[in-house]
Amino acid sequence: MAMRLLTLCLLLAVPVHAKDQPIDLRLLSLAEGLPKNLEKSTVFKTALSAGVDLRKPSHPIVVASYRGGSLFHLFYKSTENAFGNRPYLIQRMKRVLRSWKSADAKPEETVEYKVEVFKTIAGALKRPDTHWGDYGIGAYRRREVIKEYAIGFGEIPGVCEGELWPYDKGLFRMLQEWSKEPGLYAKVRFSRARTWRLEVSFDTSGSYRVRSPELGFDIHARLPGEEAIRPRPNPDSLGIVLLEGRGLRGVKLGAGSEKAVVAALGKPLERVKSRSGNTNLSFRASLTVNLAPDGKVNTVFTRAGFAGRTAKGASHESTREDIRKLYGEPKRGKADSDFWLFDGVGFWFDGYDRVRVVTIHGQ
């Protein structure tokens, strides 16, 4: 089943020296991004018409098919280490479509622009970023689509700005659909961003290509393995033991203070405050600590690359079955749910049914 990224409260970011921290991109499994009502979704129906059954994809991370003169592709991505002075990332795109009617003809060219914004938490997008395309060959001999992306911290004056999520609801907002006029694309003012590109080509012979050098895949030459969606273990988190219902050494649920948390885990990469008064502190040990309005520790949750474990032995390497053996049946969460809740601890699973986030909360 599709997994939804961890959703917490609306955030207000306060910068703490993370301006030099790189914004990393990471592929997600299809299972993490696909909608829950899969068979009713547009992406499912479009994929099926292209010969791709997303209930049983040929590859767990990237799929593409060229059939009946139409090219379809699909993959999902997220961010890591996107620590900054606000809880959102702007992504702008430039799409160049070139079409050749014959081998010796000059290509027809169309350029379009698009802008969107994503809510973030602890350096990651709160929802997967979907990348799917459906292109027809039409009356052309060959077609090529080049998409250039930039995603990062910034503002669009008067449209998307400030240190609060600028909109009342939602985890995502389309600011500008594909347009031949640059519009908002030209008005984005990035303070820090990451660029990447997607290259698609296909022709009447049936040949096609879908690749992204930065995301590390080429649909025919190099497909990503499970390592592409599983981040490297963070050495700063080795040896950390999370205590179910209690916290960890130096960080005690229901007690402590921001000063005590910093003393235990070091200088935070980011200090983020919610409108309700809670505060998130993210640390290099792939941990984020949530403080209640009175400053006491509310919850602790892990981030990508966490290499520690719980007191009972669960880690990011644990499978769903491992968790069942350690903790029994969850108090909340069905057999294939994204999230399982137990007394004092919860687990979020990735598309391979491995733990991707551990949450420590009160009993």
**How much is the pLDDT for 227?**
75
**How much is the pLDDT for 19?**
56
**How much is the pLDDT for 14?**
37
**How much is the pLDDT for 275?**
65
Task: Flag residues of the chain having pLDDT under 70.
Answer: 1-21, 275
Q: Rounded to the nearest 5°, which phi and psi values hold at 327?
A: -120, -10
Whether the full predicted model's pTM is greater than 0.75, yes or no, is yes
Nearest one of 297, 295, 253, 286 to 356, comparing CA atoms: 286
**How much is the pLDDT for 230?**
78
Residue for token digits 């990348």?
A: 131
Q: Which residues of the chain form CATH 3.40.33.10?
A: 235-360
Environment class of 221 (CB within 10 Å of its CB; exposed 0-12, middle 13-18, buried 19+): exposed
Quickly count: other Cβ atoms within 10 Å of residue 315's Cβ: 17
Q: Render the burial of 14-34: b for 16+ CB within 10 Å, e for the rest.
A: ebbebeebebebbbbbbbbbb
**How much is the pLDDT for 306?**
97
Cβ neighbours for 272, distance < 8 A, ≥ 6 positions apart: 11, 12, 13, 14, 87, 122, 279, 280, 281, 282
What is the fold, at CATH topology level, of the domain defined by 235-360? Pathogenesis-related Protein p14a (3.40.33)
Q: Cα(83)–Cα(160) distance, rounded to whole angstroms?
A: 18
Structure tokens at 312: 């009972």
